[in-house]
Amino acid sequence: MAAAIWKGIEPDRQNRPSPRRITVVSVPEQVWIPLTAETPEEGLLLTGGRKVIRFQPVCIPETQLPSYSPVCGEVLRFETVPHPLQGALRCAVTEVAPRQKALRGIPPAAEGIPGAEMILRVAGSAAILEELSGEPLYDTLKGMQTDGVECLAAAAFDEDPYSSAEEAAFSCDTEAALDGLALAAAAIGAKTMRVICPGETGRRKLRGESASLWQDAGTRYPVWPLLSQKPAFQHAGIIGIQACIALSDAVRAGVPQTDTVISVSGEGVPEPKNVKVLIGTPVRAVLEACGLGIRSREFTVVMGSSWNGAAVQDLSAPVMAVTRSLLVLPVGKKRETRACIGCGACERACPAGLALWRAAELFQRKRPPKALLDAWEQRCLGCNTCTFGCPAGLGMPLLFAERRQKEADAG
């Protein structure tokens, strides 16, 4: 029954940046290059005090993606910083040189559509992350190749109501996005391709031969689970549009992924913007470039989606390929909640078919049914669709978090 009535929610997108413009943020005085190794010394190619050139590998671990320097400069030290998306993140703190030169020939460039194995190899060596899943693009494409995905879709839409970074990246770099999608499709052997984007952008950017690629993203959240119910997407896979652009740059120009487009928005931002920044740029530098003299007592900065992002504890935390957005909110700003009215909007919105109204009722009991709630918590996707669909402001992830806190306090 839940699958039959499930239709997602319609989020309010009034506060998001314009998807037609990207502001390039100047190179900061320092970048904090994220290191992917599992141990401090694994795969490290240099020490503090060493000079680096743009696109030079800094760390090449055995089982993780390599880390490249996005700038010329001097590695001052290695430091671990709390990162809202990665936990404790070790970084190479690098002072940027006044003159920038690039190291050439990483990885090999190619024309036309090369073989599948070469495309996959370049995706791995260029350290491309697929921004929707946060996984290496190599792993994502290899899995789709193994699964026999027949249709590959590129996500040029933003489900977060405060963000339009994916749509802006596609709108401003359409040619590279389509080229990268074609390369990714060739790598996995997909028969068809689609670009999922909002109607206005689709009509404006996809014309002529590429017009047939357009699939309207619609206006409801979550986009992909809703589209995947359609017969045309039953055997489809999806990757982020910025991963497509990075793949095109790697294959055609021989450069690793060292920049990304993110949205900076929220009630603390005078003018929401989409900005293009180097990977490793500290959050503080991004906010300053947007005219925000941030002090922790005044604002809370959330990295990632407004649905389920995490607060930035240290403004030195670097932007990564999976950052997607920075949401700036006044300190103390909380979502108002009221008692459940039993309207059922949460159940219609939930992609897992969970009934928030029923959970709220069970949580009020002196002895809530532990087995049932444990099962529901395992099924909960943590997407917060129920929260934004609920007129009372309640949410399943919040209820489960409060439950875990109560259990911890009880010992």
Please write the tens of the pLDDT for every residue from 118-175. 999 999 999 999 999 999 999 999 999 999 999 999 999 998 888 999 999 999 999 9
Please write the tens of the pLDDT for every residue from 41-79. 888 998 888 999 999 999 999 889 999 999 999 999 999
* Tens-digit pLDDT string for the chain (411 aa): 334 445 667 777 767 899 999 999 999 999 999 998 878 788 899 888 899 999 999 999 988 999 999 999 999 999 999 999 899 999 999 999 988 766 655 555 567 888 999 999 999 999 999 999 999 999 999 999 999 999 999 999 998 888 999 999 999 999 999 999 999 999 999 999 999 998 888 888 998 889 999 999 888 777 877 788 788 888 899 999 999 999 999 999 999 999 999 999 988 888 899 999 999 999 999 999 888 876 656 788 989 877 778 889 899 999 999 999 999 987 765 556 677 777 877 877 787 778 878 887 887 787 878 888 888 888 887 777 777 777 777 777 777 777 776 776 776
Helix/strand/coil (H/E/C) assignment for every residue in the chain: CHHHHCCCECCCCCCCCCCCCCEECCCCCEEEEECCCCCCCCCECCCCCCEECECCEEECCCCCCCEECCCCEEEEEEEEEEECCCEEEEEEEEEECCCCCECCCCCCCCCCCCCHHHHHHHHHHCCCEECCCCEEHHHHHHHHHHHCCCEEEEECCCCCCCCCHHHHHHHHCHHHHHHHHHHHHHHHCCCEEEEEECHHHHHHHCCHHHHHHEEECCCCECHHHHHCCCHHHCCEEEEEHHHHHHHHHHHHHCCCCCEEEEEEECCCCCCCEEEEEECCCEHHHHHHHCCCCCCCCCEEEEECCCCCCEECCCCCCECCCCCCEEEEEECCCCCCCCCCCCCCHHHHHCCCCCCHHHHHHHHCCCCCCHHHHHHHHHHCCCCCHHHHHCCCCCCHHHHHHHHHHHHHHHC
- pTM assigned to the model: 0.84
- Domain-wise residue ranges, the chain: 13-24+103-333, 337-410
Written out in words, the top-level CATH class of the domain with range 13-24+103-333 is: alpha beta
